[in-house]
Structure 1
Amino acid sequence: MAEFKIRTATMKDLDSVKDIEATCFPAAEAATREALEERLSVYTKGFFVGEIEGKVIGFVNGGSTDDTEIKDEFFETMDLHSDDGKNLVIFGLDVHPDYQHKGYARRLMNHFIEFGKQENKESVILTCKDHLIGYYESFGYKSLGVSDSVHGGAKWYDMVLTLKNK
């Protein structure tokens, strides 16, 4: 089995990341190339790719904020990002369908959680669809119920993982 490596993304990864995003999400929900480029340039240290034999097969990316819920604007612009925010926000955890159900998303998520601990963040927040609540709960996330988010016209649920006591 080929080795799976996680590393900080670079601008050279942008096309691969955009293609994976477009494969994993409906057009209304998928981040645009411009949004991904902004995320990568504004918060490079919070953007990780997973690769096998030099090929990017998945990624996880986010931002930092003092907010406790993800506002829809955050999916389109990094204007709400604050490097010293107490919480990490996950915008997306994507693995190309050819590589799904092999544990790669779990490894990317665990890497992001460890990153949050190293950055001394209080929590990691994300939104997900109802069928993924149990998956995120397996990492220790707690569901906060239906989100105010209407991103892409979908119904989302707010999730939070506490990293340290406040």
Structure 2
Amino acid sequence: MEKVVIRNARKNDINEIMNIEYDSFDEGISESRNAFLNRILTFSDGFLVLEVNSKVSGYISSEIWEYLENIDEKMFDLDHDIKKVHNSNGSELYVSSIGVLKEHRKKGYGNLLFTELIKRITKKYKISSMILTVSEKWNDAIKLYEKNGFKEISRIKEFFEDDECSDGILMRKYI
């Protein structure tokens, strides 16, 4: 039986986090080491890792934003600087990235990370909504988010720099 632990990410987890990132996303979609380090240092409460048998095997990162009805699509840009948008007094949690090593997918770990993040953040911060973006091609991720109460609110044309330049689906959930 696998021993699973979820904890806050630390700077020294960065190599494992980057391995998960490259295992989860193609070039042009994966984010930089620097972006992840800034997320850990700026908002450690919102950056969790999942260990399976003491090995970092998944992560989820987030930021707190001011709620905006009319969303600036540039806020979702890959590798954006968290320091420019994060506000601990904001009311919307932006789930910026989630990844699980291929060998541990289809075991419910993505959902476990997702629900643990929501539980921890809503207990400590005054969050009234959550937002994220997902590729129109990532059916498993879309199902995970819908299962957690997210609904599509709009699309960003050709958001992802993959082979098809697929659209990004913006999804929001009110708490």
Normalization by structure 1: what TM-score?
0.90
Cα deviation for residue 83 of structure 1 reads 1.5
- Take 1:44 and 1:92, find their aligned partners in 2: how far apart are those partners? 14
Cα deviation code 1:82-135 (max 9, x no counterpart): 111111111111000010000100100001111232122111110012223233
Cα deviation for residue 149 of structure 1 reads 7.5
2:97 equivalent to 1:92: yes
> RMSD of aligned C-alpha atoms?
1.7
| Aligned-residue identity in percent | 23
2:118 equivalent to 1:113: yes
Residues 72 and 117 (structure 1 numbering): CA distance in 2 closer, same or farther, change over 3 Å?
closer
Residues 85 and 59 (structure 1 numbering): CA distance in 2 closer, same or farther, change over 3 Å?
same
- Contact kept in structure 2, 1:65 and 1:85, CA below 8 Å: yes
Q: Unaligned stretches of 5+ in structure 2?
A: none
What one-letter code is carried by the residue in structure 1 that aligns with 2:168? W
Cα deviation for residue 24 of structure 1 reads 0.4
Residues 149 and 85 (structure 1 numbering): CA distance in 2 closer, same or farther, change over 3 Å?
farther
Equivalent position of 1:134 in the other structure: 143
Equivalent position of 2:15 in the other structure: 15
Quick check: 93-102 or 77-86, which moved more? 77-86
Q: What is the number of equivalent residue pairs in this alignment?
A: 163
Q: Secondary structure at the match of 2:40?
A: helix
- Take 2:101 and 2:54, find their aligned partners in 1: how far apart are those partners? 15
Question: Aligned match of 1:76 in 80, 94, 109?
Answer: 80
Q: Unaligned stretches of 5+ in structure 1?
A: none
2:155 equivalent to 1:146: yes
Normalization by structure 2: what TM-score?
0.86
